[in-house]
Structure 1
Amino acid sequence: MDVLLLSRFQFAITIFYHFLFVPITLGLVILVACMETQYARTLNPLYKRMADFWGKIFSINFVLGVVTGLTMEFQFGTNWSEYSKYMGDIFGSPLAIEAFVAFFLESTFMGIWLFSKEKLSPKMRAFCIWMVALGTNISALWIITANGFMQHPVGYVIRNGRAEINDFGAIVTNPYAWHIFAHTVVGSFIAGAFLVLGISSYHLLRKKEVAFFQKSFKFALILAVLAATATPFIGHESGINAAKMQPAKAAAMEAVWDSTNSLPFNIIQIPEPGKEKNFEALSIPKIGSFLYTSNFNGHVTGLKDIPKNERPNVPLVFYSFRIMVVLGLFFLAITWIGMFLYRKGKLLNAKWFLRTMIWSIPLPIVAINVGWIVSEVGRQPWTVWGLMKTADSVSPISSSQIMFSLISLVLFYTILLVGELYLIVKFAKKGPALLEVAAEEGSTHVS
């Protein structure tokens, strides 16, 4: 394995581990903030218990998300130094703003909310956690702004052999970045909501703390229904955007080999890259063109019109895209079924549904990660679309150096992941009672 492949693999592993935590953080913090807001409005102690319990799980996830994110950024200097030299002026600016604005905002108010919330008024508790929610989403925005430039370069000039900013406003308003941001954040809302739905379902099946977990289920279900319903429309706009700005990626998503108008959509399709064709069955006329152009007769560029050395890995992009779409449709269906059962008062008796929600907890994380495979592998062989290829971005280091850091990274991250899963499962199974017992023991010990 050469330096390029090992460096790509290491960065992919890092991103994968990091994105096991980030989506839950982005989604769960919104629910905790809504619970705190309800407590501030009503002074009902049930909402305080909910915010404390789900906030504990959020806190565990938040800490590990920060740890994995820090390691990821170091790789731009260790594994991708040529990219950093060429793109540092542009890529560094959004990341610096993310660190000095978003990270300090979320970490400061996270500390206040976490360690001083019993001393705060209900309104101040709610304010602090909403500031954490704002900070996490601003953080996501700036990181995706940096990634958006890699997908669709804007607002730059080439000077002295490197890319430099000449229009910061264009970088901030980059349409590609905003499409990615909307898609990522809404998907994260589903991830956070499904965690709460799954844990609540576990306790509702056992008829434990029914009032607590039924109310928690309602909060998460509302967010899940809204996010799952919005996702197909946001995804459609993202597909249109990809077809306009990265035709190779769009062609790989549907394995389109020949440029054509009125592209059909094949329900059954198996790409055969070696033959530059597909096995196809059950075609729906013109739907393919509509999905990528919003026009049933729209033109879609085929892979045969793109040089072979500028095509992404078609099977990987194609199947990842299919998995994401199928899961998105599942989220849409299961959340509306849940809403029907809840409104009809049949939720507690629908054991099949509650069991389904327990097993569905990891599925939004899977959907988000395969979505990022589509986004990042679909951009290959470019690090920065049309400007810099990945082969030109890697550091001049040896394979043995990368192998050492890769093995160390996997071991370290796996330990962190096992630790997080142990803590979350422990708290999730015991419910809010465990947290309250620990708090009582702590106060007794202090007194």
Structure 2
Amino acid sequence: MDAVLLARIQFALTIMFHYIFPPLTIGLGWMIFMYNTRYQENGNTVFRQLAQFWTKVFAITFVIGVATGITMEFQFGTNWAGYSRFVGDIFGAPLAAEGIFAFFLESSFLGILLYGRKKVSQKMYWFSSLMVAVGATMSAFWIVVANSWQQTPAGFEIVTEMVNGVEVSKAQLTNFWEAVFNPSTLPRYSHVITGALTVGVFFVLGTSAWQLLKGRSTEFFRMSMRTAIVPCFGVIMLTMIVGHHHGHQVAETQPAKLAAFEGIWETQTHAPLMLFGLPDQEGEKNHFAIQVPGMVSLMVGGKFDTEIQGLKDFAPEDRPPVAMSFWSFHLMFYMGLWMALVAFLGVVFWLSKKLLDHRIYLWAAAITVPIPFLANEVGWMAAEVGRQPWVVYNLLRTEKAVSLSVPAGQILASIIMFSCIYALLFGIWIYLLKRQFKKGPDSIESLEAEVK
């Protein structure tokens, strides 16, 4: 058994499972804020009802997300000692900022949303919903800062020190703000946030459609679905625009990753966009390629004669795994097109006031619920696999980042243990969500009585 491979599998397992929950809380946080804002503006109790129901769903997801996130930080010290030693001076600051400025902000004001409804003014309650959404969004910023530094390191210098009589190198922070706002931070963060908003709005849309198909709390979920249509369309369009901008940054700072995404082997102008194909890393070619001539050059540089660097310009040992990079990126793209179609049709039916008359559309919206989750997962897979073989781009190889003292058998045992725990947590999450949806929203009468 290969300890490096097992350590990578364990980290992938834990981070991918954890990442089910933060995007949903970010997206739901802003939907809840929207509902509270509408209630603050017009006093329509339906919006308070919407805010209350989705706050409970948010809380369930938040708790499970916290539980799943704890294990990741421990891995840095157990499986990735070489990485922790190299980036500790850089990585510690954003992780601390995430805990101090974001997590506590989000969790504190969430307590007011859950238990302070009768104890604070409506303005304070509205402000609390804003702080929950801001806290969730800020939390993502500091995590993205840490990860983006691995992609495009900045604001540091390499120093050496003696550890147990052995000279080792590490990155030492020289400029905090250069490290925070490294070349990929803002493009990646904007893409992460729009991706998270996509998860939240499509979750509201799709689960509401499913409840309507089941005939549960129909008036409430009709309103819930209507309020999600325009945000779905706006967010998926914004995500595509931001994703395109992010692609420009990747082309400038990580050309090998872009070449792997697009299956480009030769450096060329008029580089084609491959809609489908089977990259062959060993043969350095693509099979069954369906391409749009010149489109990658046009998208990256705004003109067909923009030169795109090919994979053959890089030593074989410096190339990312091409097939996995290519397919994860393309799956994200295909799923984005599906979501755009669902959102567009929703707007058409909404404008014609026939949204809820189309049972096929309700089914389409319902089956779309897992699509944004999967799109986020494969998007991160593309970003992380595309960075290989570097854990810190062009500075530290992944094979040099693992802990030498942790045997493969122990890593395998922990993978099995984590898998069992995560299966249990996922089951609990689904059970609690099903119970909440089956219970439905608080009645309008009870909410109006609270106001009086």
Whole-Å Cα distance in 2 between the matches of residues 40 and 300 of structure 1? 52
Shift of 1:242: 0.8
* Structure 2 residue aligned with 1:412: 421
Task: In structure 2, give the amino acid aligned to 1:172.
Answer: V
Shift of 1:320: 0.8
* Structure 2 residue aligned with 1:305: 313
Aligned residues of 2:55 and 2:113 also touching (Cα < 8 A): no
Task: In structure 2, give the amino acid aligned to 1:367.
Answer: A
Aligned residues of 2:152 and 2:393 also touching (Cα < 8 A): yes
User: Could you report, residue by residue, the CA deviation over 1:403-433 in whole angstroms, capped at 9, with x for unpaired residues?
Assistant: 1211111111110011101111222234215
Gaps of 5+ in 2: 161-168
Which moves more between the two structures, 365-374 or 199-208? 199-208
* Structure 2 residue aligned with 1:201: 209
Residue 270, structure 1, aligned to residue 278, structure 2: yes
Whole-Å Cα distance in 1 between the matches of residues 16 and 57 of structure 2? 20
Shift of 1:215: 2.1
Secondary structure of 2:184's aligned partner: helix
Whole-Å Cα distance in 1 between the matches of residues 364 and 422 of structure 2? 29
Whole-Å Cα distance in 2 between the matches of residues 419 and 175 of structure 1? 40
Whole-Å Cα distance in 1 between the matches of residues 318 and 280 of structure 2? 18
Alignment of 1:328-339 (within 5 A): 328-339=336-347
Residue 381, structure 1, aligned to residue 389, structure 2: yes
Whole-Å Cα distance in 2 between the matches of residues 30 and 102 of structure 1? 15
Tell me which of 407, 425, 428 is aligned to 1:398.
407
Shift of 1:436: 9.8
Shift of 1:89: 0.4
Aligned residues of 1:36 and 1:122 also touching (Cα < 8 A): no
Residue 341, structure 1, aligned to residue 349, structure 2: yes
Shift of 1:208: 4.2
In the alignment of these two chains, the number of paired residues is 439
Which moves more between the two structures, 241-250 or 116-125? 116-125
| TM-score, length basis structure 2 | 0.93
Whole-Å Cα distance in 2 between the matches of residues 4 and 434 of structure 1? 54
Change (3 A) 1:2 1:252: same
Whole-Å Cα distance in 2 between the matches of residues 342 and 95 of structure 1? 43
Secondary structure of 1:100's aligned partner: helix
Shift of 1:369: 0.3
Residue 372, structure 1, aligned to residue 386, structure 2: no
Whole-Å Cα distance in 2 between the matches of residues 27 and 280 of structure 1? 38
Task: In structure 1, give the amino acid aligned to 2:56.
Answer: K
* Structure 2 residue aligned with 1:37: 37
Residue 222, structure 1, aligned to residue 230, structure 2: yes
Secondary structure of 1:263's aligned partner: coil
Whole-Å Cα distance in 1 between the matches of residues 212 and 153 of structure 2? 50
Q: CA RMSD in A?
A: 1.8
Whole-Å Cα distance in 2 between the matches of residues 118 and 358 of structure 1? 34
* Structure 2 residue aligned with 1:108: 108
Alignment of 1:22-421 (within 5 A): 22-160=22-160, 161-396=169-404, 397-421=406-430
* Structure 2 residue aligned with 1:14: 14
Secondary structure of 2:357's aligned partner: coil
**What is the aligned-residue identity percentage?**
39
Shift of 1:185: 0.8
Secondary structure of 1:119's aligned partner: coil
Whole-Å Cα distance in 2 between the matches of residues 356 and 372 of structure 1? 25
Shift of 1:435: 12
Task: In structure 2, give the amino acid aligned to 1:230.
Answer: L
Whole-Å Cα distance in 2 between the matches of residues 227 and 310 of structure 1? 36
Task: In structure 1, give the amino acid aligned to 2:202.
Answer: F
Shift of 1:395: 0.7
* Structure 1 residue aligned with 2:433: 424
Secondary structure of 1:169's aligned partner: helix
Shift of 1:41: 2.0
Task: In structure 2, give the amino acid aligned to 1:29.
Answer: G
Whole-Å Cα distance in 2 between the matches of residues 285 and 408 of structure 1? 49
Aligned residues of 2:216 and 2:438 also touching (Cα < 8 A): no
User: Could you report, residue by residue, the CA deviation over 1:151-199 in whole angstroms, capped at 9, with x for unpaired residues?
Assistant: 0000111123211111111122223011111111101111111111112
Aligned residues of 1:15 and 1:72 also touching (Cα < 8 A): yes
Which moves more between the two structures, 370-379 or 34-43? 34-43
Whole-Å Cα distance in 2 between the matches of residues 86 and 54 of structure 1? 42
Task: In structure 2, give the amino acid aligned to 1:67.
Answer: A
Task: In structure 1, give the amino acid aligned to 2:311.
Answer: L
Task: In structure 1, give the amino acid aligned to 2:270.
Answer: S
User: Could you report, residue by residue, the CA deviation over 1:91-147 in whole angstroms, capped at 9, with x for unpaired residues?
Assistant: 111111111111111111112222222322222111111101111111100000000
Aligned residues of 1:37 and 1:123 also touching (Cα < 8 A): no
Whole-Å Cα distance in 1 between the matches of residues 10 and 290 of structure 2? 39
Aligned residues of 2:106 and 2:134 also touching (Cα < 8 A): yes
Shift of 1:28: 0.7
Aligned residues of 1:261 and 1:289 also touching (Cα < 8 A): yes
Secondary structure of 2:291's aligned partner: strand
Whole-Å Cα distance in 1 between the matches of residues 309 and 173 of structure 2? 31
Change (3 A) 1:435 1:370: farther
Secondary structure of 1:395's aligned partner: coil
Change (3 A) 1:431 1:63: same
Aligned residues of 1:156 and 1:164 also touching (Cα < 8 A): yes
Which moves more between the two structures, 25-34 or 159-168? 159-168
Aligned residues of 1:321 and 1:374 also touching (Cα < 8 A): yes
Change (3 A) 1:436 1:167: farther
Which moves more between the two structures, 232-241 or 81-90? 232-241
Whole-Å Cα distance in 1 between the matches of residues 242 and 176 of structure 2? 25
Shift of 1:267: 3.0
